[in-house]
Amino acid sequence: MKDIFEKLHDKMGPLGMHADDAHGYFTFPKLEGPIGPRMKFRGVEKLNWSLNNYLGLANHPDVMKADSDAATQFGMAYPMGARIMSGNSNYHEQLERDLADFIHKPDVIVLNYGYQGVVSAIDALIDRHDVVVYDAESHACIIDGLRLHLGKRFVFKHNNVEDCEKQLVRATKLAEETGGGVLVITEGVFGMSGSQGKIKEIVDLKKKFNFRLFVDDAHGFGTMGRTGAGTGEEQGCQDGIDIYFSTFAKSMAGIGAFIGSDPHVIKFLRYNMRSQIYAKALPMPMVVGSIKRLEMIRTQPEHKENLWKIVHALQGGLKEAGFNIGITTTPVTPVLLNGTIPEATHLTYDLRENYNIFCSIVVYPVVPKGVIMLRLIPTAVHTLEDVEITINAFKSVKSKLDSGEYRHEKLAAVN
Ligand SMILES: Cc1ncc(COP(=O)(O)O)c(C=O)c1O
């Protein structure tokens, strides 16, 4: 019999296979100093485009004060249990009411983490008779939730409403046989490409098919829509979203998440989501801090306005300079270049060491072979000067890439 640890040496996985060469630089980098557009990487200040701190709230003095006052008052331990047992509080319930008002849903459940929340909500909502139709490029938490599903699921081509309809025909037929229902799952904003899910068109399919719609709006909450209520508000179809999910990890610059839906759905989730029943509630500083963040999002539109000013300058400037930024219509800004994985590492190394710009680099298998994606996340606290510096640096590294300067057999040596 084999020791299960044996295979771990040669099966490190698609990311782990680069661990020895990339650790600490391309993977697990440490950004130090106050959170913001300028942070230290390996002791040197970099212009940073790699934090999902869309509204710039992470380091806002009012947010820091709310977090630290709550930590002083309650400590980090309180409440000491799952909400169903001993971990409920007036603050958790107030946050739920505030969120429900903000996203225009009758009720909300606050979740201790987003990833587990989605996995566990999908697990709770559907049984083996139900059929799921979901977008091919769904986030890992959706895919992992579906791994628990004992019934059938049909995937539709990414953001392809025609294919979604085709899969709905199959799903409807099957659900009629099994006696179950149909759940469609997609995202408000796809976090790699920055494209919006076709929520409105999918909602329109409800005229032809009987299904419920679950939308993961992790990147849309706070950034999209007139008030920041998300992609449903942006597309004018919030009412058609039956289960609205977002995390606190992006616009809210915190940790935790929530789901908004009808009261009977939320009541069911409170009593059936295993990730909430069998795990500790969100600690008080995060809850009180989230109430503060939400109040700021609601009453201080300047954060979203600043974000979009930077988004427009960055995306407009990149396009003007001839860069391919794909089909983004949201703050997520991918810059698509052509090259090998070693070229991607040499370009990124140059960008970080010689131009002092830190952004994420995405390569195969997340994007097709031969594509290098540099992913920029603009925030409300970047400046127009940051944008200009970045576009000039990108022009320079692109011309080096095109002239073959980064052509190497091996990944950039970084240690
Ligand atoms: C689309 C999407 N869904 C869910 C999550 C998970 O949220 P959390 O970080 O709160 O676990 C993320 C990442 O944060 C995400 O990008």
Residues in contact with ligand 1 (CB, 6 Å cut-off): 113-115, 118, 139, 141, 187, 191, 216, 218, 247, 249, 257
Show the tokens assigned to 293. 């963040």
pLDDT of residue 9: 81
Which one, of 138, 212, 157, lies nearest residue 181 by Cα?
Answer: 212
CA–CA dist 39, 58 (Å, integer):
13
Give the per-residue pLDDT at 85: 96
Q: Ligand 1 centre from 217 Cα, in Å?
A: 9
Q: Which parts of the chain register pLDDT below 70? A: 415
Dist. CA 215 → ligand 1 center (Å): 12
Give per-residue burial for 175-193: e unless 16+ CB within 10 Å, then b.
beeeebbbbbbbbbbbbbb
Residues 6+ apart with CB under 8 A from 251: 54, 55, 57, 221, 222, 223, 228, 297
Q: How many residues are recorded in the chain?
A: 415
Which ligand 1 atom minimizes the distance to the CA of 117? 11
pLDDT at 118: 98
Q: For 14-40, what is each residue's pLDDT tens digit?
A: 778 888 888 899 889 999 999 999 999
pLDDT value at residue 149: 96
DSSP line for 7-20? GGTT--HHHHTTHH
Model-wide pTM > 0.85? yes
Contacts 24+ apart (CB under 8 A), 83-89: 83/270, 83/276, 83/281, 84/270, 84/271, 84/276, 84/277, 87/280, 87/281, 88/281, 89/281, 89/284, 89/287
Residue with CA at minimum distance from ligand 1 atom 2? 218
Spacing, Cα 375 to ligand 1 middle (Å): 17
Q: Whose CA is nearest to atom 10 of ligand 1?
A: 114
User: What distance in angstroms lies between residue 258's CA and the mean position of ligand 1's atoms?
Assistant: 11
Measured in Å, residue 140 CA sits from the centre of ligand 1 at 9
Predicted confidence (pLDDT) per residue in 281-315, tens digit: 999 999 999 999 999 999 999 999 999 999 999 99
pLDDT at residue 144 in the model? 97
